[in-house]
């Protein structure tokens, strides 16, 4: 095991897959000479050249379409959209073409394309640079959606995504790129379906993904230390398809569920997980499932207002205590 940063894990996965297969290339704004806004492609331009590490204009719809078209011919592009807020401009290409072409061509065409993009609330970036858009992507049939919460997951998911014949959207979080964690020294692949139990427990399940996994873990420690409540934490690193069996298994053990997300609650991950729980685990529940989500408002620029708009550890603890009838 080696302890490396999140961005280093992504860079290593890029490097290994490009060295293995000459049809793997990457493209995006400032990913070449500058090495990427978050350094995920650092050093690759010097190693592989301008034909395989392509600096693009500010034209998300154009270069995403170019990458998807090349995937029809056998290439395996890794497209970086600098911020998920800008992915709105590429949705037609990704949703109407990449996600549907295999079905609409009767299996004759595939789109083995990977789109990576950071999102989430970072630090005083304002409403137009703080989108949490995972709910939009996970609602599209034909598109896989994953969201790593650690360097190990970032490395394993990117390598699996590059070798997958389906289009894959990797939803990264802007606050995680300098996070450190252990990554196996040998080649490692994480399945593009499933979830992980990051902390075992028996009294309540806390469901999280990317940054909210850490809120759940810290809340679980407080609940155990101060309130004698043993919380299980489930990392929903795959958002489409969601791990229905894993969700059911954990709730059937703990009989309570709290779903924690940084995004607004409407039509989101929490809503979908609650639907699964109600459909598959209703008679296992000792209390109604609860969502901990952001306020339904654009993210403010002011730092104090920004923090107030999104949930934190204390909101998770409070939700669990309320579920158990405690203050």
Residue for token pair 């209390």: 287
CA distances from 307 to 53, 77, 258, 302, 304 (A): 37, 36, 21, 9, 5
Neighbours of 51 (CB within 10 A): 7
| Gyration radius of the chain's alpha carbons | 20
Q: Could you say which DSSP state residue 176 is in? A: G
**Known active-site residue 221:** no
Exactly one of 8, 17, 29, 60 is catalytic; name it.
Answer: 60
Nearest to 4 by CA among 178, 253, 145: 178
CA distances from 295 to 117, 127, 148, 306, 307 (A): 23, 13, 24, 10, 10
CA distances from 264 to 36, 120, 286, 326 (A): 29, 11, 26, 26
**Known active-site residue 102:** no
Exactly one of 129, 193, 227, 284 is catalytic; name it.
Answer: 129
What distance in Å separates the CA atoms of residue 100 and residue 94, rounded to the nearest whole number? 9
Nearest to 143 by CA among 73, 96, 83: 96
For 175, counting Cβ atoms within 10 Å of its Cβ (0-12 exposed, 13-18 middle, 19+ buried), the class is middle
Residues marked active site are found at: 60, 129
């Amino acid at each position: 095991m080696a302890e490396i940063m999140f961005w280093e894990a992504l860079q290593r996965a890029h490097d290994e897959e490009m060295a293995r297969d000459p049809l793997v290339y990457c493209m995006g704004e400032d990913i070449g000479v500058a090495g990427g806004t978050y350094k995920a492609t650092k050093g690759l331009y010097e190693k592989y050249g301008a034909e395989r590490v392509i600096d693009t204009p500010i034209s998300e719809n154009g270069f995403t379409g170019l990458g998807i078209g090349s995937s029809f011919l056998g290439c395996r592009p890794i497209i970086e959209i600098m911020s998920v807020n800008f992915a709105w401009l590429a949705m037609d290409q990704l949703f109407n073409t990449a996600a549907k072409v295999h079905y609409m061509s009767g299996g004759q065409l595939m789109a083995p394309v990977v789109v990576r993009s950071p999102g989430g609330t970072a630090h005083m970036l304002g409403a137009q640079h703080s989108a949490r858009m995972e709910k939009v992507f996970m609602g599209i049939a034909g598109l896989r959606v994953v969201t790593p919460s650690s360097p190990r997951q970032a490395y394993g998911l990117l390598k699996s995504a590059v070798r997958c014949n389906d289009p894959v959207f990797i939803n990264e979080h802007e606050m995680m790129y300098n996070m450190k964690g252990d990554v196996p020294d040998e080649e490692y692949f994480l399945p593009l379906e499933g979830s992980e139990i990051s902390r075992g427990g028996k009294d309540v399940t806390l469901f999280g993904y990317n940054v909210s996994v850490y809120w759940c873990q810290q809340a679980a420690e407080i609940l155990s230390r101060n309130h004698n409540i043993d919380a299980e934490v489930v990392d929903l690193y795959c958002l489409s398809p969601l791990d229905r069996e894993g969700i059911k298994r954990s709730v059937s053990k703990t009989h309570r569920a709290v779903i924690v997300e940084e995004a607004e609650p409407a039509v989101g991950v929490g809503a979908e997980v609650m639907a699964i729980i109600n459909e598959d685990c209703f008679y296992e529940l000792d209390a109604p499932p609860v969502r901990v989500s952001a306020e339904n408002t654009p993210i403010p620029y002011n730092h104090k207002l920004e923090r107030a708009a999104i949930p934190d550890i204390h909101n998770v603890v409070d939700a669990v205590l309320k579920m158990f009838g405690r203050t």
